Chains A and B, each alone.
Chain A
Amino acid sequence: GQNIDQPTEMTATEGAIVQINCTYQTSGFNGLFWYQQHAGEAPTFLSYNVLDGLEEKGRFSSFLSRSKGYSYLLLKELQMKDSASYLCAVVDSNYQLIWGAGTKLIIKP
């Protein structure tokens, strides 16, 4: 079966750095997305990785290792508005998105 694993919940302090991990086992791989979702709102796109390595975009970076079936989202200089759920999703061989359950990130002052 297809499986995406990420922690259910994480807590971090404002101004700090947090890393949210995602591991996957899917039938084929055509890229991995990270989305941010605030409560009661639809997901918004953060990043897309299809090749190994680190992609940096402002305070957010995303890393992928295809051989390990592993990705992480790194958030720097955390702000209170970063409190949200972060969803990892993998594009499988049929170009369908397989979603993780999401990681709820709580930022404390």
Chain B
Amino acid sequence: GAVVSQHPSWVICKSGTSVKIECRSLDFQATTMFWYRQFPKQSLMLMATSNEGSKATYEQGVEKDKFLINHASLTLSTLTVTSAHPEDSSFYICSARGAGDYNEQFFGPGTRLTVL
């Protein structure tokens, strides 16, 4: 149980285009979903936390107008990178947490974004 999927697993796009990444909890209801970004040889950087049905909470330095997050249901959150530029190229990982007390986050497989 506790499987999280992400789609697409990799994407290459031209500079200036927008890219949408989906994160789904397949067998549990995720009250909270997290979006991370990871640059090569660096640790995970939390971008934002989203609770179902409410606006996402963004970490300091993350542009909310550039990284649009929607968490419309208990099993789906989306991250849209708007007007992507080469510096946005990174590994984007989502995780989902259920309503239990264990606090564990279940990670999706990640999406590798390359902006040309």
Contact = CB atoms under 8 A, between A and B. Distances in A.
Interface of A: 30-31, 33, 40-45, 48, 87, 91, 95-97, 99-102
- Overall SS of chain A's interface: loop
A30 B34 CA distance: 18
A97 B46 contact: yes
B93 A42 contact: yes
Interface of B: 34, 42-44, 46, 49, 91, 93, 102-110, 112
A40 B90 CA distance: 11
B39 to A, nearest CB: 12
Contact of B49 (A30, A96, A99): A96
Residue among B43, B93, B110 having the largest count of chain A Cβ atoms under 10 Å = B43
Q: What are the 4 A-B residue pairs with the smallest beta carbon separation, nearest first?
A: A42-B107, A101-B43, A42-B110, A102-B43
Contacts of B42: 101
A95 B103 CA distance: 7
Nearest to B110: A42
A87 B104 contact: no
Contact of A99 (B43, B103, B108): B43
A31 B103 contact: yes
Contact of B102 (A40, A43, A44, A48): A48
Contacts of A102: 43
Contact of B104 (A33, A41, A99): A33
B104 A48 contact: yes
Contact of A87 (B43, B46, B49, B112): B43
B110 A87 contact: no
B107 A97 contact: no
A30 B46 contact: no
Residue among A30, A31, A43, A48 having the largest count of chain B Cβ atoms under 10 Å = A43
Contacts of A45: 104, 106
11 contacts: A42-B107, A42-B110, A43-B44, A43-B107, A48-B102, A48-B104, A91-B103, A96-B46, A96-B49, A97-B46, A97-B103
